[in-house]
Amino acid sequence: MDAWDDTRGGFAEAAHWFVATAARVGDRWSQPGLGEWDVRSLVGHTSRSMLTVEAYLARPAERVDVESAADYYPATRAIAAGPDVATRGREAGEALGDDPADAVATIAARVVPTVTACDGTELLTTVAGGMRLADYLPTRTFELVVHTLDLAGALGLASEPPPRPAAQALRLVARLAADGDAAGPLLLAVTGRRGLPDGFSVL
């Protein structure tokens, strides 16, 4: 299996896991989700991990501005910390309509085949600038994995991500930690030597 097949396969598996978890929400859409988001808003925000791929592919870039998935996060740190993220999550949740679980299933059924049909070399325009699809997609797999874990936690579900997208998300975490001088605390924590400092994040 080549790298692109692995990348798009991981995205597909993460998307399907998210859809399956959203299908278990039942009538709990208004209960607390993450931070200021309720479950509906959290699911709406997570659905954007698929919708942005679709939207950005429709806006081809002329050049590569961001070379890798690890470079994407420093490039978007100010945007991610802004108040618009919370607002977009709420708006995305409302846009899912009367049956949010069905809506996210419909989004996945449309976006995953679109990605599967790509070869990874496509240039797309992200909020950080031009990127190759093969470099942007791991950021979406990461977001799907982390926010589906958030959703499972909000619902009180014991749920582990599929191995392939989990491994891809962890590889990105490792790269971000190494690039951000955070590898030492992370390695000490995952080998049981000490806990992570308060507020630790690789993002």
| Three-state SS letters, 112-140 | HHHHHCCCCCCEEEECCEEEEHHHHHHHH
Check residue 83 and give its pLDDT.
75
Model confidence over 31-67: pLDDT tens digits? 999 999 999 999 999 999 999 999 999 999 999 999 9
List per-block mean pLDDT (blocks of 10 residues) for the chain, which spans 203 residues: 93 98 97 95 97 96 96 88 83 96 98 97 96 98 97 95 97 94 93 91 90
> In the prediction, which pLDDT does 78 show?
81
Residue 200, phi then psi, degrees to nearest 5: -60, 135
Evaluate whether 172 touches 70 at the Cβ level (below 8 Å): yes
Task: Give the pLDDT of residue 86.
Answer: 85
Task: Give residue 1's pLDDT.
Answer: 65
All domains in the chain, ordered by first residue? 23-181 (1.20.120)
β-strand pairing of 129-132 with 37-38: unpaired
Neighbour tally for 124: CB within 10 Å: 22
Stated pTM of the model:
0.95
Angle 67-15-144 from CA coordinates, rounded to 5°: 55
CA atoms within 13 A on the CB side of 104: 30
- pLDDT score recorded for residue 79: 80
pLDDT at 15: 98
Say if residues 121 and 133 touch (Cβ distance below 8 Å). Answer: yes
Q: Looking at residue 27, what is its pLDDT?
A: 95
